[in-house]
């Protein structure tokens, strides 16, 4: 009987040792899920930064185009500059009146 107990204990210890060996290097599932979520978030941030650079480049291009258009309008012949705020208001009102008709 003593011999059977010894063998059972040895078998149980062997099973525990095998399980410990197999699970020793493995991370818990929740840790793996969190790491994957962090990696996904980092990739999304990286893509957003790339898009941000593209948008900034496009913004600079549009600023240059807008500045050129403003210069062209300033240099139009027969165009008078606004000398007061009331002149600007009258001009805007005339544009709005034309749009309402």
The pLDDT of residue 14: 92
Q: Are 59 and 50 in contact (CB under 8 A)?
A: no
Q: Are 88 and 82 in contact (CB under 8 A)?
A: yes
Out of 4-8, 37-41, 71-75, least confident range: 71-75
The pLDDT of residue 51: 96
Identify the top-confidence range among 5-19, 31-45, 79-93: 31-45
Q: Does residue 10 form part of some domain? A: yes
Q: Does residue 100 form part of some domain? A: no
| pTM of the model as a whole | 0.46
Residues 9, 14, 19, 21, CA torsion sign: positive
The number of folded domains in the chain is: 1
Residue 83: count other Cβ atoms within 10 Å of its Cβ. Answer: 8
Distance, CA of 12 to CA of 68 (rounded, Å): 84
Q: Does residue 95 form part of some domain? A: no
Q: Which domain holds residue 56?
A: 2-76
H helix or E strand, kind and range, residue 92:
helix 85-100
Q: Does residue 45 form part of some domain? A: yes
Q: Does residue 83 form part of some domain? A: no
- Count helices and strands (H / E) in the chain: 3, 0
The pLDDT of residue 2: 86
Is 44 a residue whose pLDDT tops 90? yes
Q: Does residue 22 form part of some domain? A: yes
Residue 87: pLDDT band (50, 70, 90) is confident
The pLDDT of residue 72: 85
Q: Name the 3-class secondary structure at 2.
A: helix
Q: Does residue 92 form part of some domain? A: no
Q: Does residue 63 form part of some domain? A: yes
């Amino acid at each position: 009987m003593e011999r059977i107990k010894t063998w059972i204990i040895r078998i149980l210890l062997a099973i525990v040792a095998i399980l410990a060996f197999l699970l020793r290097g493995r991370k818990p599932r929740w840790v793996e899920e969190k790491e994957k979520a962090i990696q996904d978030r980092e990739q999304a941030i990286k893509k957003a930064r790339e898009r941000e650079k593209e948008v900034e480049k496009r913004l600079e291009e549009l600023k240059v185009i807008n500045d050129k258009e403003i210069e062209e309008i300033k240099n139009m012949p027969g165009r008078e500059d606004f000398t007061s705020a009331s002149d600007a208001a009258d001009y805007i009102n005339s544009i709005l009146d034309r749009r309402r008709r």
